[in-house]
Amino acid sequence: MRQPSDQDSAKSDIALMSPNLLWGLLETADRIGAPSDDWFAGTGLSRAQVSDPGVRLPNRPTAIVIDRALRVLPDTIGLDIGRSQHVGNFGLLGLAMTTAATFGEALQIGLRFTPVVGSLMRFVESASESGTVALAGQMTLTYPSIHRFVCEEFFSSCLALARGLVGEGLRPLRIEFSYPAPDYASHYRDVFDCPVAFEQPQNRLVLDAQWLAAPLPTHNPIASRQVLALCEAQMPEGAVPGEVTAAVERLLRAQLPQDPKLAGIAAQLHVSERTLRRQLTGEGTSFHEIHDRLRIDHAYALLRERNLTIASVGAAIGYKDPRDFRRAFKRLTGETPRALRERLSAEIARERR
């Protein structure tokens, strides 16, 4: 995969990113005496912009700055910045979430209005076993060299926000990351205070579904209507990044066993196939990428259920022939469904000890 170059930053890029993340990196560099003079060269960004909380920065130049910063900052910087966040750091979005009646309602507000605060990653609801709720983290652009940092900062900051809403007692059932365990893996356990697994199919946070009903002591229905209106006003003009993707995801999730095709989904959205392809390309994805991801996501959840056969798992996500399912699963994940099931079983056993 080609690593984005500085020239890419000259291309048109929607300005959605809050400067808070870059500010945290600069503050750390200043505190430990790490060099930062060359971070912004050729990106069109400046240190002055990072100091203005009202500025919104384009994603790709922001990613370039982060890439340069990571070369001189401590390996644990993502976790360290994330764990130090609080509700106030999320601005208008954080305020909107505090006015919700329950944690589940606050969670839906966060999923809906992520573009207001700006992030290089977003949460989407993921398939999970009964009694749990799972959120999968998806990068908003492809930039491999900063992927681990973005995951660390995003997951730790979101967990800090969640604990700020319902209390420090909130403890995920587990958190999963798609990359190998880093040398400082023990730091993950200190930050997240829950079982952490690496080299998983997705980056995911899994919670006991009972947390969704937890009431928020800061609930205010009048303020909620007012601040949600402000959030709506601050959403990017036109189609929200990821809006078409989310619509396709919702339809595909409900129809996975029928193996829906692009033409059928486009018809349900009342657009042509060509228009849907163009819209998804504009959001950095494609129909096949979404379809494959949702299939693997749902298969991953089903494979945790030992009473289901491999063939029935494949059928549940649209593969009539178990051999086609095994081949596709191996191509997309690097391992067979049976091998993943055995690994998941071993991890579940360790969690229960």
Reported as a single tens digit per residue, the pLDDT across 90-99 is 888 888 999 9
What proportion of the chain, given as a percentage, has pLDDT over 90? Answer: 50
pLDDT number for residue 7: 36
Q: What backbone torsions phi and psi does residue 332 show, to the nearest 5 degrees? A: -85, -25
- Determine which of 224-238, 278-292, 305-319 has the lowest per-residue pLDDT on average: 224-238
Looking at residues 16-26, what average pLDDT do you find?
Answer: 87
CA dihedral 4, 7, 8, 12 (to 10 degrees): 170
Would you place residue 214 in the very low, low, confident or very high pLDDT band (cuts 50, 70, 90)? very high
- pLDDT higher than threshold 70 for residue 351: no
- Which residue's entry shows tokens 């029928």? 258
For the chain, residues classed under CATH 1.10.10.60 are 242-352
Q: Two tokens at 209?
A: 């579904």
**Cβ-proximal residues to 347 (8 Å cutoff; 6+ apart), any chain:** 195, 197
How far out from the chain centre does Cα 167 lie?
A: 22
Q: Tell me the CA distances in angstroms from 341 to 70, 202, 338, one per residue in order.
A: 35, 15, 5
pTM of this structure? 0.73
Q: Two tokens at 325?
A: 């399912």
- pLDDT higher than threshold 70 for residue 110: yes
Residue 316 CB-half CA count within 13 A: 17
pLDDT number for residue 17: 78
CATH T-level topology, domain 242-352? Arc Repressor Mutant, subunit A (1.10.10)
Would you place residue 319 in the very low, low, confident or very high pLDDT band (cuts 50, 70, 90)? very high
- Which residue's entry shows tokens 């205010």? 220
Looking at residues 317-332, what average pLDDT do you find?
Answer: 90
Looking at residues 237-265, what average pLDDT do you find?
Answer: 80
Looking at residues 48-63, what average pLDDT do you find?
Answer: 80
